[in-house]
Structure 1
Amino acid sequence: MEWIVLLLIGLVAGTLGSVMGLGGGIVIVPALLLFAYYLPILNHMTPQVAVGTSLLIMIFTGLSSTFAYMKQKKIDFKSGAIFFTGSAPGALFGVWLNKGINVDAFFLYFGLFILFVSFILFIRNHIKPLPGRLSGVERSHIDQEGHHYTYRFHPFIAIIIAFCVGMVSGLFGVGGGSLMVPAMIVLFGFPPHIAVATSMFMILLSSIVGSISHIALGNVDWFLATALIPGAWFGGQLGAAINRRLSSDTLVMVFRIFLIVMAIRLIFNGSF
């Protein structure tokens, strides 16, 4: 039974993370911490182990999603590589911040972060590129359907934003796409599907950096990872397929409600 629960956690996390470019850690980390009250297999769980294990899982979610989005020709690899120059040191800084945090404080901060992500998801469909967007590197992209897109970004600002995304990833074990995707759409004019796909590629790279750091600190539960990885892998493929074929409005609405309930529970656990 416990293995089935872990497999489902990985599947749900991989699917939702791939659909919205979030990475899936925003589901895995709170799920591991909250299910620790009910599943004996998780009774040793700490914020550090939850974050370290989540980042390892996100490597497979990101890899699976990246392969799927590569086939759809939706990833802007050059832009993703520039963003990674900021997210990599950010991930290392986030891992350092995570080292001394206790369970109650982690619950509280992570709950507040999830509420913020819920707010971003509520306004996400209304996000439009700013008129007179930032000047800088101009990029062109042609997707699998032959659609041509042109957008631009300032590398310095992009790297600063990516550093914050990497820090959130290393600290909370999440992908940071909740911050990166809206920034790519609003500030830089990325088409939404390109933003999500490129975000998943960047999350893959940041997760590798963050997970290596957590592995060195002994914060990865390899036994749990073997149960979560298959679900996360197939979830990444499924999420990319949903992103391509279906409107995700209903799924996003359910996810918003789920996040708000989870955030309230985390904040309650961390405050009382």
Structure 2
Amino acid sequence: MPLVEVALVMLALGFLLGFVGAGGSGFIISILTVVFGYPIHTALGTALAAMFFSSFSGSISHYREGNMELRAGVVVGLTGAAGAWISSGWSSLIPGDRLGYLTSGMLFASGLALWFRMVYVSRRPKAPDDTTLVTVKSVRFWLIAPLIGLITGSLSGLFGIGSTPFIQLGLMLLLGMSMRYAAGTTMLVIMPIALAGGAGYFTIGYLDVHLLLAVVIGTMSGAYVGAKFTKRVPVVWLKTFMVLTPMMGGAILLL
């Protein structure tokens, strides 16, 4: 019965997240810990693994629409997976209460990074949509791309978050991608990070497969329905809720 309740709550949460277009890993973590009483480590592992499924469907869509720089995504994603695998083991060394505070802080930082990304995009001259400004053949690419992956992957593995705004900022600011390419490529990057991080939590005993199924079924079903109502909301509302969503998750964790 508790798993049924989790699925129903995640259904409602997924509807909200699909409605405003937010990832919501922070909300998943906060609901599982504060409402249902799951240990913070289990909540982190579950939220991280759940992102693989949502990113998988999003990646296929972006790839078909031509919104993805495949080679850059593979490099950043694979190095990010290495970072997530390693850092997921580090989380077990941090006491649960302290990890909750740290995760809350990272969620607030994610909201601020997302706000900065929106400001940056609104003021940035439009980059060509058919190319990235730093080619995969350059030395700079091979120095920067793995670094973006390692840093963002480590953040994801340690705190169970998607690091979406951090990945997108890295792709745009350091690799010179347009917003269109950064959005699509980020979906690809998150897949190996979520898979490796989830596997890391599983090996140390902090991933409940049955709980993961309940979360995935609920959030993906709700998000599918909620996304159909997005166009009915003013753009300024969507941007506001996208920034506030991770912050609200972080605030709940402090309760």
Which band: TM-score by shorter chain?
0.7 to 0.9
Q: Deviations over 1:37-92 (max 9, x none)?
A: xxxxxx3x112111111122111111111122122121211111111232122111
Once the two structures are superposed, the pairs formed by residues 50-61 of structure 1 within 5 Å of their partners are: 50-61=43-54
SS of the equivalent of 2:247 reads helix
Question: As a proportion of its length, which structure holds more strand?
Answer: 1
Question: Matched residue pairs, number?
Answer: 244
User: Residues 175 and 194 of structure 1: is their aligned pair in 2 closer, same or farther, counting only changes over 3 Å?
Assistant: same
* Match in the other structure for 2:143: 156
* Match in the other structure for 2:95: 102
User: Residues 250 and 214 of structure 1: is their aligned pair in 2 closer, same or farther, counting only changes over 3 Å?
Assistant: same
Counterparts of 1:53 and 1:12, CA distance in 2:
19
* Match in the other structure for 2:137: none
SS of the equivalent of 2:133 reads strand
The alpha carbon displacement at 1:25 in A equals 2.0
**Would the aligned equivalents of 1:53 and 1:220 in 2 still touch at CA under 8 Å?**
yes
Once the two structures are superposed, the pairs formed by residues 1-272 of structure 1 within 5 Å of their partners are: 2=5, 3-13=7-17, 19=21, 23-36=23-36, 43=37, 45-128=38-121, 148-152=130-134, 154-234=141-221, 249-267=236-254, 269=255
The alpha carbon displacement at 1:160 in A equals 1.1
Amino acid at match of 1:9: L
Q: CA RMSD in A?
A: 3.1
The alpha carbon displacement at 1:169 in A equals 1.1
**Would the aligned equivalents of 1:129 and 1:188 in 2 still touch at CA under 8 Å?**
no
Q: Deviations over 1:203-234 (max 9, x none)?
A: 01111111112222221222222222124434
The alpha carbon displacement at 1:105 in A equals 0.5
**Would the aligned equivalents of 1:55 and 1:210 in 2 still touch at CA under 8 Å?**
yes
The alpha carbon displacement at 1:239 in A equals 8.6
Counterparts of 2:144 and 2:98, CA distance in 1:
30
Counterparts of 1:100 and 1:72, CA distance in 2:
42
Provide the TM-score with structure 1 as the length reference.
0.77
Extract unaligned runs of 5+ from structure 2. 135-139
Counterparts of 1:33 and 1:229, CA distance in 2:
17
Percent identity at matched positions?
22
The alpha carbon displacement at 1:31 in A equals 2.2
**Would the aligned equivalents of 1:95 and 1:210 in 2 still touch at CA under 8 Å?**
yes
**Would the aligned equivalents of 2:104 and 2:253 in 1 still touch at CA under 8 Å?**
yes
Extract unaligned runs of 5+ from structure 1. 37-42, 132-139, 142-146
Provide the TM-score with structure 2 as the length reference.
0.82
User: Residues 253 and 223 of structure 1: is their aligned pair in 2 closer, same or farther, counting only changes over 3 Å?
Assistant: same
Comparing 223-232 with 156-165, greater Cα deviation is found at 223-232
Counterparts of 1:29 and 1:85, CA distance in 2:
25
SS of the equivalent of 1:218 reads coil
